[in-house]
Structure 1
Amino acid sequence: MAATMAVQQQAEDTRPRQLVVDTRMEVQYAETVSSASSTASSICDGSEGGHESASSASSVADDDSTCPSPISPTSPTSTVFTIEKENQSTGSPFSSSPDLEAQLNEVDSFSQKRLGFLRYTALNVYRRLFSIAFIGNVIAFIVLAIKGTTTLDLVNASAINLAVCGLCRQPLVINALFLTFGALPRSTPMRLRGLACKVFHFGGVHSGTGVASCLWYIGFAALYTYEFRPSKFALPALVLIWMVLALLLAIIFVAYPTFRIRRHDYFELTHRFANWLILVIFWALLFLLACDQQLPLDTFLINLPAFWILIILTCATIHPWLLLRRVPVVAEPLSDHAIRLHFTHTTIRFGQGISVARHPLRDWHSFASFTDQFDSPDTKFSVLVSKAGDWTKDCIANPPKCLWKRGVPTYGFGYVFRMFERIIVVTTGSGIGPCLSFLEDEKRPAMRVVWQTKSPLKTYGSRTLDLAKKLDEKPVVIDTSVSGRVDMLPIVLKLYKEFDAQAVCVISNMPVTKGLVYALETRGIAAYGPIFDS
């Protein structure tokens, strides 16, 4: 039960000790609001835990004083499936709630995969890609060591790795990867589709080649310093060489997960400006090395692979910024915790997202987008923003009228699920936003939706629930303000069996996603969720 406990660790102290949703219950509309002392599996008309009417909650999103005219209200027709934490009249847990482990055993007839812990932790796809990239460099190093190497060989090796590392984050390359791997037909054997769906682990190649490029460069800097002969061009070249090394080490340091999570703004700024500085310094360094070699400049550069790689990297870096634009935004406040931002500057396709910022050189944030065609025809697509940090808090408190965007819409995690016939979509909080991107795809798989969040109607509005019902006519929506957080593994296992699903899509915070995906994968279920470096 280690995987189950990993998911349960995210629960609040007040969560029910033994609680699970009976997904066989049919979600129906209720004409009246449930009271606080109703049965354990109460079904409301959409009001938050029976304490606020649907009409008053929806007014948070549709208030004319804060919501621009393109956003029109709709009647609250969505259903919230709630589970009460305890019988407030008696103060004790409901006797109808059986032991969680007993219920899990009833639905969990899946056999644990041999070596599952090793395969889905230390040997997951991300780490395998990292290892392949790194081992490839080790082989190249052995070959060069046998043949004999020069400083320029080390420069070229470092440049090749930098090129692969940088291109892994270029929007056009990312789109090409998703379109290629996502093009497999549904008739393809499940094993191949399962591997293709792991394309979002390409961050393993990014980090593997990034570390390798730094190691190659350390070798270059050490060898150049060892063979250093003072000259008019050699001394400036030596200074630039060590400047580049310092910047490479800084990039790797801030990319360490602990630092990246706690100081994301520093990570982003360091990555951006250090990369730009490295490109500029590298251009100057190549010219200095050419002069120090006492060769014609054109002859030296044309025959140096690092020169051509630098051209590619420079173009790849400049391209997204050539598309930098300040675009209008129609803000639809949903609550003091969430806001929906509508855009009109371009159209998007299923599975695509955009990067936006208030200032073009700071605080870029990526969001999955979904179509507005069903409930806001005057705009083209939306993103759902919930309170998660300083930027999002400010966005909710001070809704923007314009934002900066760069590059092109980029395909993301959800795109690969079009390869399946039937899936289970599991999400929490504002993770429903990326799930709604499925609305854009006419050939989307049949799906069941499990959404666990606090006060869904009050927080995200009836329009959001209506869109969720377009994905699944009877979504399982768990209101944690009533039930507390519940373990979703038994719910997913039951739905997976009853729906005869082929895969499970999990979109939540990192610990919940990681724990639930691991619990499913070790049971032989194809499960996918965004990873830290996806």
Structure 2
Amino acid sequence: MTATLPTATESVRARLKRRPWTHHNRLAAAVVAGNVVAATAGPLDVGVLTWLVLGNLTLAVVIRQQLVINLLFRLATAAPLRRSLRLRWTLGKVYHFGGLHVGGTLCATAWFFVLTGVLTARGGPAALLLTSWAIAVVLTGMIVLALPRLRARRHDLFERSHRFGGWSLLVLFTVHSVLLAGPDFVGSGPFWVLLVVVTSVALPWLRLRRVPVRITRPSPHVALLSFDYGVTPFAGSSTALSRNPLLEWHSFANVPAPGRTGFRLTVSRAGDWTGALIDDLPSHLWVKGIPTAGVGNIDKLFRRVVWVATGSGIGPCLPHLLSGETPARLVWSTRHPRRTYGDELVDEILAVQPDAVVWDTDSAGKPDLVELALSAHRDFDAEAVICISNKKTTWHVVEALEARGVPAFGAIWDS
């Protein structure tokens, strides 16, 4: 039976939930607006410009720190269920915090160019000017490579530029601050700010380790990774994996099972790295940092949720379905689920989700996920929908549901 779909309203409120008016972009705009206000508060001398650069740089770096991310999610999801749905809907957008990173980076770069111009006009020491322009060049290169289209086409280059460029910037900023402040640098405000930034960047790498992994391959399309090295992550978290820790990292949703140590990951063939992992089945992988909260963590803000997944998107949904902490209904669209993911995984899902809508695209074709989600949302009397899929599908489902007044959430590919 076809669900009766709510009309997609075109009110101002509905339009403001679509790109480019996302919470991510609103946060970036708020940072820019705050900097504009700060710029009008007084004369922009070298000291003020230095603090504007360091303040924005600190925001850009610290907001990406794993401990800070987990704290943001913990605070946002602490709201009691008795609070209004509108408030909980807004708090559920906590994963848009990357807008603060973007806003801080853009403003830090803009102010640094102003600072460099002032220092150049003043005719400062050659070493200071050389360091200033080196920082300006590195910042510009990182921003250019982070532009969405270029980043999507050359993701490995983007990732390496952020890693090695970021480390280079920490050294250059420290040298720049020493040259600017002279012997008074140690113990000064910039000294402590840079110490916080360096510590924030270093912490995940201090937990770098090479750990054993057991991999099963139910089909040439999917690998199921099992870890048990003393860490049992929380549901809704992710772990970063690498085979070469200096070159590239890939994050996957953790699947802990209630009452068992360790966790699993579901990896589908979606590029060179995942393809090589599925084909090679390594015995060890590198991990760093700590399990980090992701979009699925916001399910605890709602009384009942619908999970919409396509393909291996079932992985991030599975720990929430297994834990049963928030009543849930699953809508899963995938190619021949048992042949692709194996009987064991499918039976595990159906054991906790006997009423799940499992759509086999091999036999039934491509579904209308918006209609399926709305039907499940209505029949299950859910408060929200969480979609785990590829970028195009996620954005389509989330925007279509929110235009109909349904709180919907999904990754925004900003990290």
1:328-349 C-alpha deviation (Å, 9 max, x unpaired): 1011112100001000011111
Give, in angstroms, the shift of residue 121 of structure 1. Answer: 2.3
Write the distance in 2 (CA, Å) between the matches of 1:321 and 1:439: 32
Is structure 2 residue 213 aligned with structure 1 residue 329?
yes
Q: In structure 1, what is the equivalent of residue 235 of structure 2? A: 350
Within a 5 Å distance, the mapping from 1:88-107 to structure 2 comes to: 103=2, 107=4
TM-score after normalising by structure 1: 0.75
Within a 5 Å distance, the mapping from 1:160-239 to structure 2 comes to: 160-229=55-124, 234-239=125-130
SS of structure 2 residue aligned to 1:384: strand
Q: In structure 2, what is the equivalent of residue 272 of structure 1? A: 163
Answer yes or no: is the 8 Å Cα contact 1:328–1:402 preserved in 2: yes
Write the distance in 1 (CA, Å) between the matches of 2:181 and 2:97: 35
Q: In structure 1, what is the equivalent of residue 187 of structure 2? A: 302
Within a 5 Å distance, the mapping from 1:283-432 to structure 2 comes to: 283-291=174-182, 297-298=183-184, 300-303=185-188, 305-345=189-229, 346-373=231-258, 380-432=262-314
1:434 aligned residue (304, 316, 319): 316
Higher relative contact order (CA 8 A, sep 6+): 1
What code does the residue aligned with 1:276 have? W
Answer yes or no: is the 8 Å Cα contact 1:214–1:248 preserved in 2: yes
Q: In structure 2, what is the equivalent of residue 98 of structure 1? A: none
Q: 1:484 to 1:493 in 2, by over 3 A?
A: same
Which of the two has higher C-alpha Rg? 1
Answer yes or no: is the 8 Å Cα contact 2:242–2:249 preserved in 1: yes
Write the distance in 2 (CA, Å) between the matches of 1:210 and 1:428: 34
Write the distance in 2 (CA, Å) between the matches of 1:124 and 1:109: 22
Give, in angstroms, the shift of residue 470 of structure 1. Answer: 4.0
Q: In structure 2, what is the equivalent of residue 252 of structure 1? A: 143
Q: 1:175 to 1:502 in 2, by over 3 A?
A: same
TM-score after normalising by structure 2: 0.96
Write the distance in 1 (CA, Å) between the matches of 2:322 and 2:126: 58
Write the distance in 1 (CA, Å) between the matches of 2:50 and 2:348: 53
Q: In structure 1, what is the equivalent of residue 326 of structure 2? A: 445
What code does the residue aligned with 1:480 have? T
Write the distance in 2 (CA, Å) between the matches of 1:495 and 1:441: 20
Write the distance in 1 (CA, Å) between the matches of 2:116 and 2:299: 45
Normalized per residue, the structure richer in helix is 2
Write the distance in 2 (CA, Å) between the matches of 1:319 and 1:188: 36
Answer yes or no: is the 8 Å Cα contact 2:131–2:176 preserved in 1: yes
Within a 5 Å distance, the mapping from 1:112-191 to structure 2 comes to: 112=9, 114-115=11-12, 116-143=14-41, 147-191=42-86
What code does the residue aligned with 1:336 have? P
Across the two proteins, how many residue pairs are aligned to each other?
413
Write the distance in 2 (CA, Å) between the matches of 1:397 and 1:385: 12
Answer yes or no: is the 8 Å Cα contact 1:368–1:437 preserved in 2: no
Answer yes or no: is the 8 Å Cα contact 2:257–2:323 preserved in 1: no
SS of structure 2 residue aligned to 1:394: helix
Write the distance in 1 (CA, Å) between the matches of 2:17 and 2:330: 28
What code does the residue aligned with 1:195 have? T
Is structure 2 residue 406 aligned with structure 1 residue 525?
yes
Structure 1, unpaired ranges of 5+:
1-21, 23-102, 292-296
Answer yes or no: is the 8 Å Cα contact 1:449–1:471 preserved in 2: no
Give, in angstroms, the shift of residue 482 of structure 1. Answer: 1.5
SS of structure 2 residue aligned to 1:473: coil
Give, in angstroms, the shift of residue 485 of structure 1. Answer: 1.1
Answer yes or no: is the 8 Å Cα contact 2:145–2:151 preserved in 1: yes
Write the distance in 2 (CA, Å) between the matches of 1:132 and 1:494: 37
Write the distance in 1 (CA, Å) between the matches of 2:102 and 2:5: 37
SS of structure 1 residue aligned to 2:412: coil
Answer yes or no: is the 8 Å Cα contact 1:322–1:407 preserved in 2: yes
Answer yes or no: is the 8 Å Cα contact 2:211–2:286 preserved in 1: yes
Answer yes or no: is the 8 Å Cα contact 2:213–2:282 preserved in 1: yes
SS of structure 1 residue aligned to 2:309: strand
Write the distance in 2 (CA, Å) between the matches of 1:306 and 1:215: 18
Q: 1:373 to 1:525 in 2, by over 3 A?
A: closer
Give, in angstroms, the shift of residue 111 of structure 1. Answer: 5.7
Superposed CA RMSD in Å reads: 1.6
